[in-house]
Structure 1
Amino acid sequence: MTSRFGATLLGALAILIWSTSVGLTRELAERLGVLTSSALTYGLAGLIGCAILAARGRLRGLLRLPRAYLLGCGGLFVAYLVSFCLAIGLAGSGARVVEVGLVNYLWPSLTLALSVPLLGLRARLWLLPGILLASLGIFVSANADRPLDLDAFVSPLAAFAAHASDDPVPYLLALIAAVTWSLYSNLSRRLAGGAAESAVPVFLLASGLFLLMLRAFFSETARWSPLSFAMLSYMTLLPALAAYACWEYAMRNGRVAIVAALSYCTPLFSTLLLCALQGIPMTLTLWVGCLLIIGGAVICKLGVVETDPANKRNTGVA
């Protein structure tokens, strides 16, 4: 197994882990509050990650990382998590949470698009149709409970427009989250300068502390139970600590176009998992959404030409 192939597999693993966390994130937020659950999840993940680095004698090595990476990517990482958590927290109703999530899912498209100017990848004409097709698939999958007709597209779009115009702040925050995460995903590769160390644990800890400070300005009631502790433990160790570390390693060392294209499948996998666990039948709308996402992801990969990593290692092109 080559290092690039292994790194790409880690990116796929991160996507699978995140797919299992969608339902748990909502459930934990309902039990503890969005800011409380997020602050604990990312703060504890950062503490554990930093403790592991310290035990291995690698915590000091983070100081040797380029300052542009530490400050620039660190700022983008914190901005992403804070913006996304605030967007979910301010969305209110379940329908708006879904809509805010759809805005946030612009990040795979933005990651692919930004990889062209930031990492020097070459775009083909196939890229734009692939992005549009995969994005349409995400939209269709999010409305899988509706029949597959024109109303399945018009009604959700009308509701989205009404909600966004009535209270645009959550939607703007979700857009900021999508932009900052796509920038982070590309710039972490460009600015790290080929270093082996990763500052993800520090970024997680900083995000947790910032969210904890924001928590003081919002009223949240936490309902603790053994199940709450179990969910918090899972979210801390896997979707937060492990998945974010795997994602950065994949974006810095793997096949960027493949990893970014696969990320379209995050909402697809989460929906399929929910159907399997709760015995929800697969509707025709969901099947069509699946095909659109998969087809769009394949076209996106074909729409980006990756160059030889030996020639552009410092800019992260692979």
Structure 2
Amino acid sequence: MSKNLATLIGFSAILQWSSIIGLLKKISFSIGPDLAVLFMYTLSAIILLLLFKIPNLKLVPRQFLIYATILFVIYELCFSYAIALAQTAQQAIEISLVNYLWPSLTIAALILFKELKFNFFVIIGLAISLGGIILIQTGNGSFNWSTVFTNIQSNPLSYFLAFMGASLWSLYCVITRKYSHGHNPISFFFVVITIVLWLKMLIFHGIPQMPAVDLHTGMYMLIVSIVTALGYAAWNVGIIKGNITILVTLSYFSPIFSSVISMFILQTPLSLSFWHGAILVTLGSLVCWISTSWPQIKAKLIQLRHE
């Protein structure tokens, strides 16, 4: 496999993951948030088990396995329910951008854990990203704090879950970097979250009755499970055999990719202020990344120039 092809496959993972918000919200409109999340992870776990099986967990560092599993499961629950519980299609897209604060928060967490040196531009990047979220909440009107708080208070649980998820994912990234030693038991993580969701369903709701699922809902359910699972497989190919610098750079544009794809799936027009906010979230993440990775980026650019 050529490096360019592997990079293209890795980029497909970014697009696949960017479609999850719109697809999951589409399903939750039809069968409710609980069943939508349950079936998405159940089918994704089955696909991942067929692709990767469960690795030999004895080879995975025990502390990493315990803490990473807990963080991954809670993050996925926060992320999926934040989207599924959104009241409208537009709110689901807006809430998804809160989740995309995780790149900036990851840089901040790496600094707190002394994995990276402090850089003042990280504070600027975080401020830019948060400014983008605030701008989105103002709508098309002039800036007003009461408008921002009113929008958040319309569905505080979803906004809280999205922000909590972004924070937990940043910790997961730090722990994975420090303690994974190259192990990636993603299929095991999905099995655990599927078990947790089924236990939650049985304890609080009893045995779920299969809802009447029309062809379109069934198709969306299958697609969201496939893109969730295959996204991990494609990403692994990209970062192992492709150009990781290009992939990392492209991944920081996920808020824009996700918003565009979700807009078409949910058939929801988005305001100009929303796009300004999405660009700010992306720009803030890029500022954080570039400010802490400039020596490596500069060296890579020099290398590419000489190739």
TM-score normalised by structure 2 residue count: 0.75
* 1:171-211 deviation per Cα after TM superposition (whole angstroms, max 9, x unaligned): 4433332222111122122211134xx21011012111211
Partner of 1:110: 105
* 1:79-103 deviation per Cα after TM superposition (whole angstroms, max 9, x unaligned): 1122333444555566765665454
Specify which of 228, 247, 260 is matched with residue 217 of structure 2.
228
1:126 aligns to what SS in structure 2? helix
Q: Does residue 173 in structure 1 map to residue 161 in structure 2?
A: yes
Aligned pair in 2 of structure 1 residues 299, 100: CA closer, same or farther (>3 Å)?
A: closer
- Deviation of 1:14 after TM superposition, in Å, equals 3.3
Partner of 2:180: 192
Partner of 2:41: 42
User: Which residue identity lines up with residue 137 of structure 1 in the other structure?
Assistant: G
Partner of 1:265: 253
Structure 1 range deviating more: 262-271 or 16-25: 262-271
Q: Does residue 14 in structure 1 map to residue 13 in structure 2?
A: yes
Partner of 1:150: 142
1:208 aligns to what SS in structure 2? helix
Partner of 1:126: 121
* 1:2-31 deviation per Cα after TM superposition (whole angstroms, max 9, x unaligned): 99x999877654332222222111011122
Q: Distance in 2 between matches of 1:245 and 1:254?
A: 13
Aligned pair in 2 of structure 1 residues 96, 281: CA closer, same or farther (>3 Å)?
A: closer
Q: Distance in 2 between matches of 1:203 and 1:62?
A: 11
* 1:89-144 deviation per Cα after TM superposition (whole angstroms, max 9, x unaligned): 5555667656654543432321121122447122321111122213333444576x
TM-score normalised by structure 1 residue count: 0.73
* % identical aligned pairs: 27
Q: Distance in 2 between matches of 1:255 and 1:117?
A: 28
* 1:43-63 deviation per Cα after TM superposition (whole angstroms, max 9, x unaligned): 222222223334xxxx45343
- Deviation of 1:227 after TM superposition, in Å, equals 1.6
Partner of 1:207: 193
Q: Is the 8 Å Cα contact of residues 257 and 301 (structure 1) preserved in structure 2?
A: no
User: Which residue identity lines up with residue 43 of structure 1 in the other structure?
Assistant: T
User: Which residue identity lines up with residue 210 of structure 1 in the other structure?
Assistant: V
Contiguous gaps of at least 5 residues in structure 2 = 297-307
Aligned pair in 2 of structure 1 residues 172, 223: CA closer, same or farther (>3 Å)?
A: same
Partner of 1:67: 62
Q: Distance in 2 between matches of 1:120 and 1:241?
A: 30
Aligned pair in 2 of structure 1 residues 62, 6: CA closer, same or farther (>3 Å)?
A: farther
Q: Distance in 2 between matches of 1:176 and 1:280?
A: 26
- Deviation of 1:267 after TM superposition, in Å, equals 2.9
1:303 aligns to what SS in structure 2? helix
Q: Is the 8 Å Cα contact of residues 138 and 268 (structure 1) preserved in structure 2?
A: no
> Which has the larger helix fraction?
2
Q: Count residues with an aligned counterpart.
A: 293
Q: Distance in 1 between matches of 2:168 and 2:74?
A: 7
Partner of 2:25: 26
